[in-house]
Amino acid sequence: MRLVAEDLACVRGGRSLFAGLGFAVHAGEALIVTGPNGAGKSSLLRLLAGLLPPAAGRIALEDGDPERSVGTAAHFVGHLDALKGALTVAENLGFARALLGAGGMEIEAALAALGLERLAEFSARMLSAGQRRRLALARLLISPRPLWLLDEPATALDADGQETLARLMAQHLSGGGLAVIATHAALKIERVVEIRLGVGGIA
Cα 97 from chain centre: 17
Give domain limits for the chain.
Answer: 2-202
pLDDT digits (tens, 9 = 90+) for 151-188: 999 999 999 999 999 999 999 999 999 999 999 877 88
**Which strands make up the sheet holding 56-62, listed edge to edge?**
15-26, 2-12, 56-62
Does the pLDDT at position 98 exceed 80? yes
Angle between helices 89-100 and 129-142 (to 10 degrees): 30
Q: What is the pLDDT of residue 143?
A: 92
DSSP characters over 29-70: -EEEEE--TTSSHHHHHHHHTTSS--SEEEEEEETS-TT--T
Handedness of CA 54, 56, 61, 66 (dihedral sign): positive
What is the per-residue pLDDT for 63?
A: 84
Quick one: pLDDT band at residue 131, thresholds 50, 70, 90? Answer: very high
Q: Residue 153: which H helix or E strand, with range? A: none
Into which CATH architecture does domain 2-202 fall? Answer: 3-Layer(aba) Sandwich (3.40)
Residue with more model confidence, 112 or 66: 112
- As a whole number, the mean pLDDT across the chain is 92
φ/ψ (deg, to 5) at 71? -60, -40
- Greatest alpha-carbon pair distance for the chain in Å reads 48
Cα separation, 188 vs 190, in Å, equals 7
Indicate the range of 23-32, 138-147, 189-198 predicted with least confidence: 189-198
